[in-house]
Amino acid sequence: MPAPARPGLVVGPTLTIPRAELTERFSRSSGPGGQGVNTTDSRVELSWDAGRSAVLSDVQRDRLTGRLGHRLVDGVLTVTAAEHREQRRNRDAAAHRLAALVADAVAPPAPARRPTRRTRGSQERRLTTKKQRSTTKRLRSSRPSRDD
């Protein structure tokens, strides 16, 4: 039995953007569409006011504005989809794109990398290889030329 549908755009297991906070705009697409490209509004712009959204916690809002600040215009995040001929498919593509953007932006930062030292064996192998290579080159250059 499928899971019950939650109203809105599911971003993650704990975050769902309500449909009331999403704004869709349609316009003519310059992409594929044949004769219908000039008459059909298949391009979709999906906008979400992240600055005023009630579903984000303060921490999530700070992460989102820090990571996507260059894409926000007055706190509004806009995603465009025009790669399909059908408006429905472009709506789905825009929704998936917005959900992926928000999920990446809201995710907690990765743990800090602990620097590690190279092993003694790896250092010795590196130096041995360098010595072999330099010996090979030195032997090549000391050969007499064959200008008989």
User: CATH number of the domain that 76 lies in?
Assistant: 3.30.160.20
The mean pLDDT values, 10 residues at a time, for the chain of 148 residues are 64 89 84 63 89 89 90 91 87 93 91 93 97 93 62
Contact 44, 26 (CB under 8 A): yes
Domain span holding position 49: 9-106
> Is the C-alpha dihedral spanning 101, 107, 112, 116 positive or negative?
negative
Per-residue pLDDT at 148: 47
Separation between Cα atoms, residue 56 and residue 97, nearest integer Å:
18
Side chain identity at residue 51, one-letter code: G
pLDDT digits (tens, 9 = 90+) for 121-139: 999 999 999 999 999 999 9
Per-residue pLDDT at 13: 87
Residue 99 forms part of a structural domain = yes
How many domains does the structure of the chain reveal? Answer: 1
Residue 81 forms part of a structural domain = yes
Residue 19 forms part of a structural domain = yes
Residue 119 forms part of a structural domain = no
Residue 121 forms part of a structural domain = no
Separation between Cα atoms, residue 145 and residue 98, nearest integer Å:
68
- Does the predicted model carry a pTM greater than 0.85? no
Residue 14 forms part of a structural domain = yes
